[in-house]
Structure 1
Amino acid sequence: MILITGGSGFIGSYLISSLMSRSLLICGRVKPPSIKAEKFISFDLSKDLLKVETLTNVQTVIHCAAHVHVMNDSSSSDPLIKFRQINTQATVNLAKQAATAGVKRFIFLSSIKVNGESTEPGIPFTSNYSAKPVDSYGLSKYEAELELMKISQYYGMEIVIIRPPLVYGIGVKANFSSLMNLVSKGVPLPFGCITQNKRSLVSVTNLVDLIITCIDHPEAANQVFLVSDDNDVSTSEMVREMAVALGKPTWQLPIPIWCYKLVAKLFNKSEVVDRLTGSLQVDISHTKETLGWKPAQTLQEGFKQTAQAFLQAKTK
């Protein structure tokens, strides 16, 4: 049996739909519509502990649930406290319960933010790159990774860590959705000069395919895997691929990057501009070689699938 947390989330829902032929148990606060009541356990990651009998027949735990961001959180003046509560301590508690119950493998969906926020062009992050988390989210994920490895050494439970970059696909929200909405309008966009940076992305299809590979693969035990579509693109290229997928013209104005830097200083938006103009690449050689895995879907296919769903939702 496979136990999944975060099943109602973007990645978790895809994972469940891809594993419907397997014996599943879903833990979370919201029951996914596709799951029968007897296969769902109401579970608040930050408060609850699973009963021992819940994990009796579980061989693998796939931990997707996480606290991603804090919006207007008045409960704490330090966002790191909330991130650690969910992403670190709750993860550790769940892993210890799994280990003591005899679960064989614990797959943890971490983040590329454990490695850092950016890379120099042509010098991608690798699976053995020294961790340099910058924000509270990345730090909480890294601390969880460290504790999971300790649990593995003490109890013998196999740990698999996956660090994805930006994940996109049908139903994606946040920045990717906002950019796609902008491109869908078919108006000229100011990204013509952002051609020298490189960003790694991963479709949710490819990410889920890797997670499923890690369920049974003997070489996945106690490894850290990076994942992407294996096709890094500049911001300008990404916009062009979106436009093609949406069937829109690709007009991009050649606004110099120094203009972005100036606007960033004036409006205190350095973080936004750095993501837009900077690079974040991952090298998935270790993943491919260790698991004999390669992305099942190309970036172009992923963009087309996402764009079609986006346009359908827009017409509704």
Structure 2
Amino acid sequence: MKINIFGTTGFIGENLTDKLHENYKISAVSLRNNNWNNELVESEVFINLVGKAHDHNKTATEADFHHVNVDLTKDIFNAFIESDAALFIHVSSLAALEEFESTKPLNEEDICNPNSWYAKSKREAEIWLMNQKLPENKKMIVLRPPMVHGKGDKGNLVLLYKLISKGIPYPLASFENNRSFISIDNFCFFIDEIIKNKNKLDSGIYHISDDEIVSSKEIIKIIQKVENKKTLNVGLPKFFVKGLAKIGDILPIPLNSIRLKKMTSDLMVSNQKIKSALGIEKLPLSAEEGLIKTIKSFTKEK
């Protein structure tokens, strides 16, 4: 089976390409090439991983997010419609539904509450895709993962690892939280299962995540276990931490309001819909096993 994958240079794209190469013929399509349509091969599947999530230099505009997350998605989908491929997998984000906080595991029917330019653009792309009429021989699956972690990850988990591995006390112990994640192994497993069993799924939106929910404190324990370090957890007063985060909104320090929310608030998701549809009882890795594997990859990169 041949697959066109868009967005293979990122952390997720590199890992997914390596995994799918084991069983499929992969064509990596770069949209940086203005003639990217010429790179397309006759395939059965299109996978869209193209997306703009980070603005490390704080120079991106709302139009930048819209162009990458909406306009390019439309271009890729239209290329899919014009092709002979039967399956279009679009990787959206849980942020299109909710970015910061939930009091229960979120499902696909919950009301969307995107906040940032990134989240709003991902949601706009979802709405556009869901409004498109598909030919009878084609199917579209839109996936909403929470934070994906694994080898090559450069996100908040790396920052937390660097803090704990250096023996620096964790300063946010006064916050209690529960969050959903997905390891890159389980992410790739879901993609592979969708490709192999696409007839079991109706076109639509599906959540993917690890089965278990974990807290920041549990992640810290895992890092301490892998690194064989014992560090103190410091419960700084919440008002002090929130004030410090507001300073980080202005000055370039490691903590800001958005990062604080992502590290300390509850954000849980249910993966039951897609597991039931595909007949999946258990994922390859538990949440803890996936985190241990990721942390060990960080130690090798030191």
TM-score (norm 1): 0.85
* Counterpart residue number, 2:26: 24
* Counterpart residue number, 2:50: 65
SS at match of 1:50: helix
SS at match of 1:151: coil
Counterpart among 62, 65, 68 of residue 80 in structure 1:
62
Worse overlay, 149-158 or 159-168:
149-158
TM-aligned CA deviation for residue 86 of structure 1: 1.2
* Counterpart residue number, 2:74: 92
Q: How does 1:66-145 map to 2 (within 5 A)?
A: 66-72=51-57, 79-121=61-103, 123-145=104-126
* Counterpart residue number, 1:32: none
When residues 147 and 186 of structure 1 are mapped into structure 2, their CA distance, relative to the original with a 3 A threshold, is same
Summarize deviations over 1:151-173 as a string: whole Å, max 9, x none. 34467631101111111111211
Counterpart amino acid of 2:40?
A: T
The separation in 2 between residues aligned to 1:234 and 1:242, in whole angstroms, is 13
* Counterpart residue number, 1:170: 151
Q: How does 1:141-160 map to 2 (within 5 A)?
A: 141-153=122-134, 157-160=138-141
* Counterpart residue number, 1:7: 8
* Counterpart residue number, 1:205: 185
The separation in 1 between residues aligned to 2:147 and 2:81, in whole angstroms, is 30
Counterpart amino acid of 2:5?
A: I
Q: Percent identity?
A: 27
Unaligned runs of 5+ in 2: 250-255
Counterpart amino acid of 2:138?
A: M
Verify: 1:254 aligned to 2:235, yes or no. Answer: yes
Counterpart among 259, 262, 272 of residue 272 in structure 1:
259
The separation in 2 between residues aligned to 1:67 and 1:104, in whole angstroms, is 26
Worse overlay, 277-286 or 301-310:
301-310
When residues 59 and 152 of structure 1 are mapped into structure 2, their CA distance, relative to the original with a 3 A threshold, is farther
Contact 1:100 1:155 in 2 (8 A): no
SS at match of 1:124: coil
Verify: 1:287 aligned to 2:274, yes or no. Answer: yes
Counterpart amino acid of 2:12?
A: I
TM-score (norm 2): 0.89
When residues 156 and 146 of structure 1 are mapped into structure 2, their CA distance, relative to the original with a 3 A threshold, is farther
Contact 1:124 1:281 in 2 (8 A): yes
Contact 2:151 2:297 in 1 (8 A): yes
The separation in 2 between residues aligned to 1:135 and 1:48, in whole angstroms, is 31
Contact 2:45 2:85 in 1 (8 A): yes
Contact 1:113 1:138 in 2 (8 A): yes
When residues 276 and 309 of structure 1 are mapped into structure 2, their CA distance, relative to the original with a 3 A threshold, is closer
Q: Relative contact order: is structure 1 or structure 2 higher (C-alpha 8 Å, sep ≥ 6)?
A: 2
TM-aligned CA deviation for residue 98 of structure 1: 1.1
- Report the aligned-residue RMSD: 2.1
Contact 1:194 1:236 in 2 (8 A): no
Verify: 1:241 aligned to 2:219, yes or no. Answer: no
When residues 148 and 257 of structure 1 are mapped into structure 2, their CA distance, relative to the original with a 3 A threshold, is same
Contact 1:11 1:204 in 2 (8 A): yes
Q: What count of residue pairs does the alignment treat as equivalent?
A: 292
When residues 307 and 49 of structure 1 are mapped into structure 2, their CA distance, relative to the original with a 3 A threshold, is closer
The separation in 1 between residues aligned to 2:36 and 2:294, in whole angstroms, is 37
